[in-house]
Structure 1
Amino acid sequence: MQITQEAVQAALRKGLDPEAQTPEALTPESQTPESQTPIVKLEDDADPNLVTWDGPDDVENPKSWAFAVRWRLTIIASAFSFISPVSTSMTAPALGAIGEELHMDQEFERFLSLSIFILASAFGPFLAGPLSEMYGRRPVLQLFNLFYLCFNTACGFAMTGQQLIVCRFFAGFGGSAATVIGAGILGDVWNTEERGLSVSIYTLGTLLGPTIGPLCGGFITQYSSWRWTFWAISIANACIQVVATLFFRETFAPVLLGRKAARLRKETGNPDLHTKWQRPDRTFTKLALTAVARPFMLLTTQPILQVLALYIAYVFGLTYLALSTFPILWTTQYEMPISIAGLNYLALAIGYIIGTQICTRLIDVVYKRLKETRGKGTGQPEYRLPLLLPGALMIPIGLFWYGWSAQNHFHWIMPDIGIAIFGAGVKFALQCTQLYALDVYPTYAASASAASMFVRSLAGFAFPLFAPYLYLSLQFGWGNTLLALVALVLGVPAPFFLWYFGPSLRRRSPYAAG
């Protein structure tokens, strides 16, 4: 039976409400973040050749997939986002052994071999994020992960310090894709009110990775060889790659709709069928240049993203500063063996887990309550911000506690309590800002994440380099006090600024929702 063009056009409109889908019907009150995603909004309902979803419950729409499928994708994305950050700090307890074997006599050179991975993470997202918005999440994520796997394995075979630093840089470049694309995957498959738990698990992986890494690295270094700190990660990463190859599927709506349009063109013989992203004037060159430039455009033109990126960059810098200086504190001042000293990283992990449990239970509740009371049934991204304030207070409190208890050489549990409080604050800050960014930039979540990750990776690279000199001059007490005061100045005003000015900034932005 031949399928007519009129039948196809009717099928395309099936399930769509013209009253609600036309641009004229989208009043300012109805333009919530949910209504501005590319999944349900039509550019021109009068275009007979425009291919979109067959209604909000279309089974091909990632947000309509089965609950189990969406959680499977979330867990795989979280696994990728966990294993790469493990590499950022797993060699921290082994820096002494690495420097001795590879003749890296300068302390700066040893710390450079640790933080060069994070520096590369600043540049990888500018390529990985936009490419995932052109070709889809699945192929780009797996290609970059394979790149990371090869160079991380090569680190274990390095014979000189220069070889190790070069391989670490390229491993960091490939591993950076997991974090930025993972954020886009969560935006693809979860609706706004469902994202709390998924983002919580995802961000927990990115935070636990740098914490679990040194814990394992200490035991590996003491009882085996520092080279196995790389090879062990590669084995685990290869297993994740195999699972992703078998069970991960594409989630990016423009790519899925493009496949649907291609299938319909073949079935109907109508070459004019297209999606809103497949216009004749949109050549590959234009798309490529736009996609690669978009993170820079977001970072330089979006005040919302600038505030988020600045604060999270400082928080990440503090985290990696603490991770890199833990071996100095526990092996010198507390005279612990390197393997036992690594157990103190669990304090940071406990803080992350406590922060996750509290923040996850509250953030969706607060969002829904504000939506009902303040928004009169309409959700706003700013309803993610209230819990950012307690996080902004816990970070300096934890730093102050950790610094002065270490300075006065209190029992080891006291610095660990301080770093746990710090870790809970970091978790609050990261989860709130991640959800807020996803709600503000739903279509360009990967590019927004790439822009933010660029700034925070630079901070994560730089902070460990000056950490030894900071504590040598001010010691742990006054050094952490200085860092805590800066965190207080940056963190406390941020939620108030975004709460009051966020809506007006979003209205003036061509990229933001609302």
Structure 2
Amino acid sequence: MIAFRFLSGLGGSAPMGIGGGVLGDLWLPQERGKAMALYSLMPLLGPAIGPIAGGFIAQYSDWRWVFYSTCIAAIAIQCAGFFFLHETYAAEILKRKKKQLIKVTGNTELHTEFENPSRKFSAHLKTALSRPFVLITTQPIVQVLALYIGYVYGVLYLVLASFPQLWECPDPLPPNSRCPAPGYGEPSGIAGLNYISLGLGFYLGTQIAAKTADRIYKKLKAKNGGVGRSEFRVPLMFPGAIMVPIGLFLYGWSAQAHTHWIVPNIGTAIFAAGNQLVFQNCQTYIVDSYTRFAASAIAATTILRSLGGFGFPLFAPYMYRALGYGWGNSVLGFLGIAVGFPAPLILWWYGESLRKKSKFAAGG
């Protein structure tokens, strides 16, 4: 099972790694915010929608259909992508045109500006595979954003891991009997509906980012004499940095006090909206900063993001057992303040100078 989960994650990593690079190829910087907002929504919306469907499938059908339905959806999306998605990377497009010209002219000496004819394919492959690790170890911008994205992604999955314990009743109960669990004791299907709050929060964050990101960028670009900068993506990180801890505090202490179910859901919606603002603008900043190597830079941040999504849920049961929902989520909120407030300030003040010193960043 672990081996096949590894293969599933390996296959699913492709769109997470190259999606930002594709958007960077297709849209100009002043048009990229809305596209990135929609793209960033889906990896976050999936963990909110999946448990809702999975809860009802497991409750009213065989648990195996949770996996069957996922496979069917994956095959359908893969087929759509295979037939309708096309290459966007400029270097690869030129390479294909070069091959066509060689067939027409017979001149085998033709090559693009991105190619080194003397380099072997193995050398190109080695460079491409190692570049994300080079970026994460040498680029301060990538390191700061990878740490921040790793935090928000890890906390998201920790919150997801806390939902079953808080909302669900662990076993089927006889009619008219109360759930002995300390949480809200809802049936699995009804408990899954609480994930709607996360979905609504992600949607709200997407709407805010889609309507304001490019507008803010264009306004700051005009004030800067018509010259765009990656740092013009930073302003929207600040409300996200504020909303993430506020949502965690509200979710934690309302769950601790066992208030009406709507209150913890309001907290998770605020957290999710802030999470989306942070995630989307960090992704867009990376694409704007590392235009040619955007996919590698996104892949570099995915390293810490995946580790956060893997590691945080592991200590969730122990943390909540020791601290409760109130102080447990408060610790996460204080950590969010410690990471989330300095990160945008560092990028705003020092981002341009760091990019100028980099051989990978745009303008470096």
Band of TM-score, shorter chain: over 0.9
1:492 aligns with 2:329: no
Q: Deviations over 1:44-96 (max 9, x none)?
A: xxxxxxxxxxxxxxxxxxxxxxxxxxxxxxxxxxxxxxxxxxxxxxxxxxxxx
Counterpart CA distance in 1 for 2:115 and 2:149 is 35
Q: Give CA deviations for 1:6-63 in whole Å, capped at 9, x if unaligned.
A: xxxxxxxxxxxxxxxxxxxxxxxxxxxxxxxxxxxxxxxxxxxxxxxxxxxxxxxxxx
Whole-angstrom distance in 2 between the partners of 1:438 and 1:360: 16
Number of matched pairs: 350
2:221 matched to which residue of 1?
Answer: 371
Instruction: Flag as ranges the 4+ runs of structure 1 deviating above 6 A.
Output: none
Corresponding position of 1:78:
none
* CA displacement at 1:196 relative to structure 2: 1.3
Task: Describe how 1:359-508 pairs up with structure 2 within 5 A.
Answer: 359-373=209-223, 375-508=224-357
Aligned-partner Cα distance in 1 for 2:198–2:85: 31
Cα deviation 1:430-469 (Å, max 9, x = unaligned): 1110110000011111111111011111111011111000
**Which structure 2 residues correspond to residues 247-326 of structure 1 after superposition, within 5 A?**
247-326=84-163
1:384 maps to a residue whose letter is R
Shift of residue 496 of structure 1?
0.8
Q: Distance in 2 between matches of 1:371 and 1:381?
A: 10
The one-letter code of the counterpart of 1:470 is: M
Write out per-residue CA displacement over residues 296-317 of structure 1, whole angstroms, 9 at most, x where no aligned residue. Answer: 1000000000000001101000
Deviation, structure 1 residue 169:
1.8
Structure 2: gaps of 5 or more residues: 169-180
Q: 38, 44, 47: which is aligned to 1:210? A: 47
In 1, the alpha carbon distance for the partners of 2:162 and 2:127 equals 41
Match of 2:9 among 172, 189, 192: 172
> 2: distance between equivalents of 1:294 and 1:262?
26
Shift of 1:284: 1.3
Q: Give the corresponding residue for 1:228.
A: 65
TM score, norm. by length of structure 2:
0.94
TM-score in terms of structure 1 length: 0.67
What letter corresponds to residue 418 of structure 1 in structure 2? G
User: 2: distance between equivalents of 1:384 and 1:345?
Assistant: 29
The residue that corresponds to 1:338 in the other structure is: 188
CA distance in 1 between counterparts of 2:117 and 2:135 reads 26
Deviation, 1:263, is 1.7
| DSSP 3-state at the match of 1:272 | coil
Partner AA of 1:329 in structure 2: L
User: C-alpha separation between the residues in 2 aligned to 1:420 and 1:367?
Assistant: 26
2: CA distance, partners of 1:481 / 1:242: 44
One-letter code of the match for 1:249? H
Q: Which structure has the larger Rg over C-alpha atoms? A: 1
Aligned partner of residue 176 in structure 1, secondary structure: helix
Question: What is the deviation of 1:270?
Answer: 2.7
> In 1, are the aligned partners of 2:111 and 2:117 still within 8 Å (CA)?
no
1:344 counterpart SS class: helix
**1:360-399 Cα distance to aligned partner (Å, 9 max, x none):** 11111110000001x2100000000011011001000000
RMSD: 1.0
**1:182 is aligned to 2:31:** no
The one-letter amino acid paired with 1:323 is: L
Structure 2 counterparts to residues 10-25 of structure 1, below 5 A: none
User: How far apart are residue 265 of structure 1 and its match?
Assistant: 2.4
Once residues 202 and 191 of structure 1 are traced to their aligned partners in structure 2, the CA distance between those partners, rounded to angstroms, is 15
Which string of whole-angstrom CA distances, capped at 9 and with x for unpartnered residues, describes residues 169-209 of structure 1? Answer: 22111111121121221112112111111111111111101
1:237 pairs with 2:86: no
Between the two proteins, what is the percent identity of the paired residues? 53
The residue correspondences of 1:66-85 to structure 2 (distance < 5 A) are none
**Residue type matched to 2:277 in 1?**
F
Paired letter, 2:77 = I
Q: Whole-Å Cα distance in 1 between the matches of residues 239 and 119 of structure 2?
A: 46
